[in-house]
Structure 1
Amino acid sequence: MNLFNELEKRGFIKQATHLEEIRNLINNEKIIFYIGYDPTADSLTVGHFVTLMFMSHMQKHGHKPIVLVGGGTVVVGDPTGKTDMRKMLSNETINDNLSKIKDQMKKFVDFSNDNAIMLNNADWILKLNYINFLREIGTKFSVNNMLRAECFKQRLEKGLSFIEFNYMIMQAYDFLYLNQEYNCIMQLGGDDQWSNMIAGMDLIKKTRGVQVYALTCNLLLTSNGKKMGKTENGAIWLDKEKTSVYDFYQYWRNIGDDDVEKTLKMLTFLPLDEIEDLCKVEDAEINKAKEVLAFEVTKIIHGEEEAIKCKEASKALFSGNGNLEGAPNYDVKIQENGDLFLDILVGLKILPSKSEGRRLISQGGVSIYDEKITDPNLLLEKKHFKDGKVILKRGKKNFYILNLIN
């Protein structure tokens, strides 16, 4: 099977500027392409997972990726999909985010022997002369056309700042720069970036007379159209300090039945026929496919050893026996008269807030050793610990271990 067909069958391909030309380039040539990531946080999320896998498939078939980290464009802020203006980040925060994101990229991309390039657009964006940039680049953009772009239309009623209005131009300039300096001829990205990608392609055509291409992939959505990677505790991060390895594993273990096959195809490297065989089942039997999905994605992000620990811990917590080593552990000190259970859980970030915690506990969503806790004012006392441990259950399948320390 050729690469383009495999990408289609895996569910990546969404929109293409020149479908047949792109199909030929991907299948028969070796090209340089790029995908951009703005360092808005110190970790990437599940939402970035699809484009990282997209990039990895391309590289494995001989194409050379440029991983562009937006140290310059993040200063402006991408309005796409946002109802409000992004928070302005300090240079110190941006640089800290950049260093952490770069390490995550290396799990997907082989940078050895010049097989891939990582660049920071701050190296050219922050050096631009404003007046010269307006004369040379700004004149190539029609405000009327820009206002028709989806990324701007949805913000016009609530308000769009002038700095955000520049984002499309800056991203287009990135493509122009990479085309000039690195012979990059294709931009890949999530489908929400379509307008920005088209702008870059048009800018290169107007300034250099060179034909380049844009190809978007499907966003990671559930079967009911919602973005994957969101939970009651917030986003699912790729950094284990922000989302524990066990919570990461459990997120995929518990996704909806209708989302399993699609997610296996997009977020693992398992052969397509193997995935289809796994998913030719109904009802409870789909749990086997969910276990495979959770193991494979955890292995990609956190390594095989951590994936094995999570698999064993998950089985142990469901069956009552086995190795609990992979479950998230927290050390807690308890006063003689006990401590407010809710405060402990919020402090450990097992629950996102006191208000959400009260609601969840009142509805029976938290258990200690399978006994539901319904009193938000419960004091956790030493008597609750068995052999110095409390096994805590949040929701249907999220487990945590609290260790009593002096």
Structure 2
Amino acid sequence: MERDDVLKVFCTEDFNEISDDEIKGANKWICSVLLEDLNTLVGDNNESIQNFAFNLFESLLNKHGEDLESDSMFIKLKIFYRLFVNTSARSEVFKELSLKKLTVIHWLAILRFEDLLPETTYAICCFGKHIYNKYLLEKEFFDFISDLTTICNTNTKDHVHSSLIAFFWKLFEECPTFLSESFQSMGKRDFIYILGILIELTDNNYETESTYVKVHENNIYFMASLLERWCQDNFKEAETLRLPLYLMTILGTLGIHKRNYSDNVFTNKEILSSIKVILMNILGVEDKKGQIPGTSERFKALCNNDDDFVPLNDLKISCLRLVTNICMDNEENQKNAGEVGLLYPVLQCSFDKTTLDVALRKEWSVICIKALTDKCEENQEFLRDIKNKLSSRVVESLKEKTIFA
């Protein structure tokens, strides 16, 4: 197909006048031509490209609610839509021009077409941060993001889920305000859905150095500040234990690659203080003898929330895992942990009860103590002092776990 034939497809004002073979020929040209030639064609026909994208979405949306199974025009529009998606995948210029006339309402509405979801979610993935930057200030934008999180969590088609996961990956990495804006603009349930997506991304991509998600540092700072805020004023603003569980799970995984971030991202006394508060309250709830004072009544109520039950041991392990990963080979954080009084509650986690991660076969309380005391004389001294104050039964138990020699 010649360049002029492709241009005819993009410049049409009546989709009916273009044959299916012409659309498919243009699609083949788009996928095989040199990128420089594609961008030249798009850039030289600025207005026509904008109109093409706008008219295509409008034509598709006008079909909503009709019987589409045997609608020949809808079938033709689907072929045009694939052309739009494939061009978006290749050309940054095309994406920029398309967004000039498309609104977030167009994207919200196109999600209603179940038949088009694979193409739509792939297009959204291709546009990535362009969508965020273009529509962030529009009031419907986070309705759109909310719909995407719901589709990502409920759609059973692998390619739909994979496209949306890749889209959110780009937002976590490239959009420094994504998490803070989402928290301010979305309901708590939808925000936790977003954190769930980030957990999936980090858990699935931390096996090798080359594939891990490098979350933007501003998004990490926000998660750390949100954890601190959750603990403030005796958990006054806390609504669910799932929020700190997800935050600490994510931060704990990101902490594995702390050297790839600025030094002060994970060298953070406030994170350690927040973890101490959470651990002390967990231990207080677990303490049936009433030996640990000061347990928050609000925290107890959250533990008894049957509508959003979070196992305390999962929360405890997320605390210990985060401490381990940000304190290992970090002398300043080891000292910070000692200064905020974190060693004793961590040690208490190893008394009687297990903190075993069954999947990883890791006893996190033991690993955490070792991370806090390795080559840290101050924390080793604390262990020596506390050993003399514990009962012989507890000391023997800790020896079995190799915490004490």
Q: Same fold (TM over 0.5)?
A: no
Tell me which of the two structures has the higher relative contact order, counting C-alpha pairs closer than 8 angstroms and 6 or more residues apart: 1
- Report the TM-score, using the length of structure 1 for normalisation: 0.24
Greater C-alpha Rg: 2
- Report the TM-score, using the length of structure 2 for normalisation: 0.24
Higher helix residue share: 2
